[in-house]
Amino acid sequence: MNAGFHTSIAGLGADPDDVNITGGVWADAEWFEGNATQNFWRSVENLAVTPTGGDMRWAVSQAAPMRRVHVKGNLMLHSSRYGWASGGYIADSVIDGEVRAWTQQQWYTRDSTLTGGWAGTLWNMTFSGVENAPPTSFPEPAVTTLDTTGTIREKPHLYLDGEDYAVFVPSAREGTRGATWDGGTTSGTSVPLDDFYVARPGDTAERINQALDQGLHLLLTPGIYELDETVEVNRADTVVLGLGYATIVPTAGQTAMQVADVDGVRVAGVLFDAGAAESPSMLTVGTEGSAADHADDPISLHDVFVRVGGAHAGRVDQAIVVNADDTIIDHIWSWRGDHGEGIGWDVNTARNGLVVNGDDVDGYGLFVEHYQEYNTLWNGERGRTIFYQNELPYDPPNQAAWNHDGVRGWAAYQVADHVTQHEAWGLGSYCVFTSDASIVSDNGFEVPVTPGVRMHSLLTVSLGGVGTYEHVINGVGPRASGTETIPAKVVTYP
C-alpha cells in the first residue's frame, strides 16, 4: 500500500494489532529519482504491518508522521536508492526489527520501543522515552537521548467501538516511556461519533461554529475547506480531528482557527493553507495576555501543519501563535513554501512560523521552516523543546534583506531576552541561500545568558556552502560554510 501525497493510512481498531496489513505500507521516492526530501503530507497510524521480505520502507520528510504502528520487521527510513531524506517523526510505536536511517539527515522518535535497535546517524537524531534507543553521543555520532519525555498526550484517533464509530481521546501523562498500548491499554476516554459534527468540504464557517456552540466536537473529513470566517473553538475539552489532511484555507484574511483559553482542547490532523489575503495567523491558541492555568488539563496540538505558498500564493503574519499556558505541541510542520505555486520573497510573505507567548509550554518535534524573520520566537517562561528542525528561507534577495538591528540574519530559534527559564535538546538549523550565496547569518540560535536557560545538542549546516552561519549560538560555535556540508556543533550552552 503506497502512501502518496495527501494520503493518510489509518487502522480502525482499538489497538494497532487489531488491524494488520500483510505485504507493506510504504513510501519511497522513485518519483524524485530517489530523493525523499520532498516526501511530505502523508501519514500512517494505528495499525500493524507485516512487511513482505521483512522490511517496511518509510522514506519521508516533513509532515509525515508514524503513530501507533507495530512494525513486525525492520523499518527503513531511507529511499531504495539511498537518496537524501530530511527528517521525520515516530511516536507511540513498536518496531520489532531494526530501524535503519542511513541517509536521513534528522529524526525524532518519541515514547516507542525499538526492539532491534537503531542504525544510521547523520546530523540530528533525537529520542525521548524510547526503549532500546541508542545512548546520547552528541556530537559524534549526533544522537541525543532523554530517558523520558515529560508532559505529553497522544493524538486522538477514530476507531470502531463495537459496531459504532467513536474517537478515542488519550489522557495526559508524565514521565512517559514506551508505547501506551504495548502490553496494556492506552489510558483515555471514548467519545461517540454522535457527539461530533462531521464536517464536509462546502460547509461554511458559520455552520461549523454553530455546531461547536451547540457543544459538539468537530471531525473534518478529507478535503479543502475554504472559509470566510474564523473557526471558533470556545468550549473546554473540545476535540477537533482532521482526517486525510483536511485543509482549511482562510479566504477573507482572517485567522483560520482560534482556540479559547479553556482547558483540554485537542486540535489534531489539520492542515492550514494560507490564503491570498494576509491573515494575522493560521492558528491562535489562547488569548493574548491571559494567565489561566491549564496544568491539570492541558491544551494539545497534534500533527498540525501550516503551508504558506506551495499550493497557491498565500500570506500570513505569524503562522501559529500559542498564548495559552501549559500547551502541548506534539509535532508540527510550519512551512513557508520554497517551491511550488505562489513562491517569492514578496509573494508568500510570512514573518514567524511559531510564536510561543504562554508559560510552561512543551514542544515535541517542532519543524519550522523558511520564515522571513525569527522562524520560532519563544516569549513564555519555562518552555521545553525536544527536537527542533529548521531551514532558513532560501530566497532573501541579498544581505540587506536579511539583516536587522545591526545583526546579520535572523536566528532560527530565539528565546526572548526577558525569559529566565527555558530548556531545549536536539536543535538543527540549515541554510541554502539560493538567491545570494554570500549571505551570512550571525547565529543559528539566540537565547538570553542566564543560568535558567540551557540548550543541548545544537548544530548549524550550510548546505553545499550556499550561505554561511558565523556561529551556532550567541557568538559561540564554529562557522558553518563550505561545499563539504559539515555541521557546526555545540554540545551545551552555556
Q: Which listed residue (154, 391, 446, 470) is catalytic?
A: 391
Q: In this structure, is the dihedral angle defined by the CA atoms of residues 71, 75, 80 and 84, taken in order, positive or negative? A: positive
How many beta carbons lie within 10 A of that of residue 98, not counting itself? 17
Q: Which residues are within 8 A (CB) of 184 and not within 5 positions of it... i.e. 6 or more apart? A: none
391 among known catalytic residues: yes
Handedness of CA 413, 43, 155, 201 (dihedral sign): positive
Q: What whole-number distance in Å separates Cα of residue 37 and Cα of residue 65?
A: 14
CA 75 to CA 82: how far, in whole Å?
Answer: 14
- State how far the Cα of 377 lies from the Cα of 229, in Å rounded to an integer: 27
Report the alpha-carbon distance of residue 58 to residue 240 in Å, rounded. 27
Q: CB of 125 within 8 A of CB of 143?
A: yes
- Which cell is 202 given? 462546502
Enumerate residues 6+ apart whose C-beta is below 8 A from 1.
9, 21, 23, 24, 25, 26
Active site residues: 391
